Structure 1
Amino acid sequence: MQQLWDWFLEPTHQQLCLIILISLILGGLAGRFLSYRKEKSTRVLRRESDKAFFKGIQYILSNDRDQAIEEFTKSVQINSDTIETYVALGNLYRSKGDIDRAIRIRQSIILRPNIDEGSKTRALIDLGLDYRKGGFMNRALEALHQALQKDPTNLEVLDGLEKIYEDLRDWENAFATRQKIAKGSRGNHKHVLAHYQVELGKAGLEKGDLSQAKSCYQKAISIDETCLDAHLHLGDLYFLKQEYKKAVSAWKKVVQIAPQFSFLAYRRLEGAYGEMKNLKPVEDFLRECAASSSDAFTHMALARYLYNEQDFQGAIRELDSALALDPSFWEARKFKGEILLKQGRKEEALAAYEDLIPRLNVPYLK
C-alpha cells in the first residue's frame, strides 16, 4: 500500500492518472451523447414508420389498396422490425391477386431468427391462405398442417383446412375437420356434418358403390334428422334399386319435416307410384299437403296433377289458391292462362296474361 502511495506522489504519475480520469469522463459523456442521438433518431424513425402505417390503415378503410400498399411499404422500409406491417402488406397483395409477393412476405417472416411462435403460426396460416388463393392446394394444406402442429385447436387453421377439403371435394377429411371445429366452438354443426355425409354418399353412388351411398345417407339422417337432401337422395337410391315403397317412405319424410318443400318430392313420388301402377296415392298425398301447407308450390304441383287427369276446373282452383298465397308466382299465372286457352276461354286467358305482364321483370313490357 505504501509503495502504491509513493508511486502516486510522483508528478508524472499524477498526470497520467488525471489523463485517464478525464478520458473516462469524456468517454462516458460521448457515449451518453451518442446513445441519446441514436435514441432520438430511433424515435424519429419510429414516428415516421407509425405515421406511414396509420396512413396505410386509413387507405384500407377508404378501399384504396394501392395507396395502402405504398404507405405500408414506406413503413417497413423505415422500420423493418414491425411484423404486423408485413402481415398487413401481405394481406393486401393477396387481396389484389399478387400471390407471389404475398408468399415471399410470409416466407421472410417465417425465416426470421428469434421470431415468436405466435407470429410464426400466423405467418403459416397466411401462407396457407395465399397458396389457396393462388390455386396451390397441396402447398396450402402443407402450410396449414404445419400451423396446426403448433396450435392443434386453432379454429382459423381448421376452418382454412375445411375450405380446402371442400374445394378438393375431399368430403371425408372435410367431415373429420368439421368434427374438430365442433369440439372447439359453439353452435349447431349438425347440418354441415350431415351435408358432408350426403356428399360422401353421392360420391359413392357415382362409383357404383350403392352400399356406401346408402350408409352415408343414413348416417347423415342420424346426425341431422331434418336433412332434406339426405332423405331425397336415400329415396332416389331406393328407387334405383326398385324398392319403391321404401323410396316413397323416404320422400314423404321431406313433407313431414318441411311441408314448404313438398314440391321437391312430388315428381319423385309420381314416378314411384307410376312404377307401382297406382297414381291415386299421388293425388291423396298432394291434397293432404295442400290442406296442411301454406306453400304456393304445393298447390301448383296439385294443379299439374289435376291437369294431367283432365280435371281442368280443379287445376284452376289450385292455381287460384297458389296465387292467393303468392301473387308474384308468375309460373302459376302462365299455367292458368294456358289452361283457359285450351278450354277456349280467351277473355279469361287474356285477363290472366294481363295480370302476368306486371309480374315479369321486363321494363319495356311495363
Structure 2
Amino acid sequence: MDFDFTWVLLGFPIAFTLGWLASRLDLRQLRIENRQAPKAYFRGLNFLLNEQQDQAIDAFIEAVQNDPDTSELHFALGNLFRRRGEYERAVRVHEHLMSRGDLTQPERDRAQHALALDFLKAGLLDRAEIALRKLEGTSYGEESMLALLAIYERSRDWAHATEIAGKLDSASHGSFSGRQAHYLCEQALTASASGDTEEALGTLQQAIRLAPNSPRPLIDLAKLQSQLGRHQDAFETLLKLEKTAPQALPLAASLLGNVAQQSGRQQQATDLLQASYASMPSIDLVEAIIKLDSNPGEPRDRYVQHLEHEPSLVAAAKWIAGEKLGDEHQHILVQRALDKATKPLMRYRCAACGFEATQHFWHCPGCQAWDSYPARRIEEL
C-alpha cells in the first residue's frame, strides 16, 4: 500500500494551528495569574491600611499561593499572624522561609529574627533564646542581645544577663555598667541566702569597682557587713555612699543609725545626717537623727523643725502622736485618721510607670525599669 503524502501536507498546518492556540492559552493563563498576584497583594495592603486584619490575611494568603517564591509576602503574612497572636502560624511561615535555599543571607537573618520574635511573643523563652543567639554578629546583633537581656532578666538568670550586658558595653552600645552592677548585686543576694558570704562580699566589691557611683552595691555591702557583725566596716561603707551617691542616703539612713550605735560612732553619724538633711530634707533622715538623739524631749521638736522646711503631713501626724488632744478617745480617732491619710504618702513611686510600693525597688515590678524609683517618698516628690 502506497503512503499518501497528502495527509502529511494537511497535518502540518493543523499541528501548527493547535500549537499556536496552546501557546496563546498558556500566555493568557500566565497573564491572568500575574495580574491576580499583584491584585491580591494590593487588596491585602488596602485591608491592612483600613485595619481589617482578617481580610488582609486572606488576601495575602491568596497572593502567596499565586506566587510562593516571593519572600516579602511571607514576611508580611508572618508579621500579621504574630500581631494577631497566631504564633504557631507565624512560626510555620518563618520556618518555611528558613528552609528555602534561594534566600540571600540578609533575608535569612531577617527570617531568623522574625522567628525569634515569634517565639518571644509566644512566651517560648528557651526557643527564643536559641534563635536570638544565632543572630550574634549579624545586622540584628544588637537588637537580639537586648532581647536576650530582657529574657535573662525575666527568668532571673543573672549570670547570663551579666555576660550579655558586658558584650553590649564593650561593643559601645551605651553604658551597661550600672545594669551589670545590679546583676552582680542579685547574684550576691543569692550567694548570701545560700550561706556563701565570702562569695557575696567578693561579688559586691566587684560591683562597686564596676559602678563606683551606683548606690546599690554600697548599701547592699553595708547591710551584709552589718549582718556579719562587722559594724565598723559597714559604717565606713556608708561614709563612701555619702560621698559617691549622697542622694541615696535616705535609703540607708536607718541602717546608718543602727551601725553607728553598734560601733559607737553616734555623733559622727548625727553630723553626717544633719549635713545631708540641710541639702535635702527628708523624713527618713529626720527619723534616723531622732533615733541617734540622746535627749528624749527632742523628737517632737525635730518634727516641728522639719515642718518649717517641708509642709509634711507625715511629720505633722508624728508630732500629733505625742500630743494629748483632750479626750483620749477623740485623740485615738484623730490619730487613726491621720495614719490612714499618711500611709499612701510614705510609698515610693516609679518615675517611669507610676507603680507605687511601700518599699524601694531597684528594679520596678511594673515596667521592669532599673533605677526608676527616686530615693524619696511620694510626699517629698
Taking structure 1 as the reference length, what is the TM-score of the superposition?
Answer: 0.75
Look up the match of 1:100: 88
Look up the match of 1:161: 148
Name stretches of at least 5 consecutive residues in structure 2 with no aligned partner. 346-381
Q: Which amino acid aligns with 1:135?
A: G
Does residue 275 of the first structure (1) align with residue 262 of the second (2)? Answer: yes
Name stretches of at least 5 consecutive residues in structure 1 with no aligned partner. 1-11, 60-66, 362-366
Does residue 117 of the first structure (1) align with residue 140 of the second (2)? Answer: no
Does residue 135 of the first structure (1) align with residue 118 of the second (2)? Answer: no
CA contact (8 A) 1:255 1:265 kept: no
Does residue 335 of the first structure (1) align with residue 335 of the second (2)? Answer: no
d(CA) in 1 for partners of 2:303, 2:283: 13
SS of match in other structure, 2:322: helix
Q: Say which is worse superposed, 160-169 or 38-47, in terms of deviation.
A: 38-47
Q: Classify 1:98/1:76 alpha carbon distance in 2 versus 1 (closer, same or farther; 3 Å).
A: closer
Deviation per residue, 1:305-357 (Å, 9 max, x gap): 5598431343123321452xxx4x4423322332344899x99x98xx89x96
Q: Which amino acid aligns with 1:45?
A: A
CA contact (8 A) 2:250 2:284 kept: yes
SS of match in other structure, 1:147: coil
- Name whichever structure is richer in helix by fraction: 1
Does residue 317 of the first structure (1) align with residue 309 of the second (2)? Answer: no
**Offset of 1:233 from its aligned partner?**
0.8
Pick the aligned partner of 2:174 from 160, 163, 187. Answer: 187
Look up the match of 2:277: 290
d(CA) in 1 for partners of 2:192, 2:227: 11
Look up the match of 2:30: 38
d(CA) in 2 for partners of 1:205, 1:295: 31
Look up the match of 1:79: 64
Q: Say which is worse superposed, 215-224 or 29-38, in terms of deviation.
A: 29-38
d(CA) in 2 for partners of 1:50, 1:307: 81
d(CA) in 1 for partners of 2:140, 2:81: 28
| CA-based RMSD | 4.0
SS of match in other structure, 1:315: helix
CA contact (8 A) 2:149 2:164 kept: yes
Q: Classify 1:178/1:25 alpha carbon distance in 2 versus 1 (closer, same or farther; 3 Å).
A: farther
Does residue 231 of the first structure (1) align with residue 218 of the second (2)? Answer: yes
d(CA) in 2 for partners of 1:308, 1:155: 59
d(CA) in 1 for partners of 2:325, 2:254: 24
d(CA) in 2 for partners of 1:41, 1:152: 36
Q: Classify 1:278/1:79 alpha carbon distance in 2 versus 1 (closer, same or farther; 3 Å).
A: closer
Deviation per residue, 1:80-118 (Å, 9 max, x gap): 444444444444444554433333333233223423333
Q: Say which is worse superposed, 95-104 or 303-312, in terms of deviation.
A: 303-312
Q: Classify 1:244/1:307 alpha carbon distance in 2 versus 1 (closer, same or farther; 3 Å).
A: closer
Q: Say which is worse superposed, 23-32 or 85-94, in terms of deviation.
A: 23-32
d(CA) in 2 for partners of 1:92, 1:304: 61
Pick the aligned partner of 1:173 from 160, 163, 181. Answer: 160
CA contact (8 A) 1:201 1:217 kept: yes
d(CA) in 2 for partners of 1:156, 1:138: 17
**Offset of 1:192 from its aligned partner?**
1.4
Deviation per residue, 1:50-86 (Å, 9 max, x gap): 2213421441xxxxxxx31431232122334444444
Q: Which amino acid aligns with 2:55?
A: E
Taking structure 2 as the reference length, what is the TM-score of the superposition?
Answer: 0.72
d(CA) in 1 for partners of 2:296, 2:108: 70
Identity %: 22
Q: Which amino acid aligns with 1:77?
A: E
Count of matched residue positions in the alignment of Structure 1 and Structure 2: 335
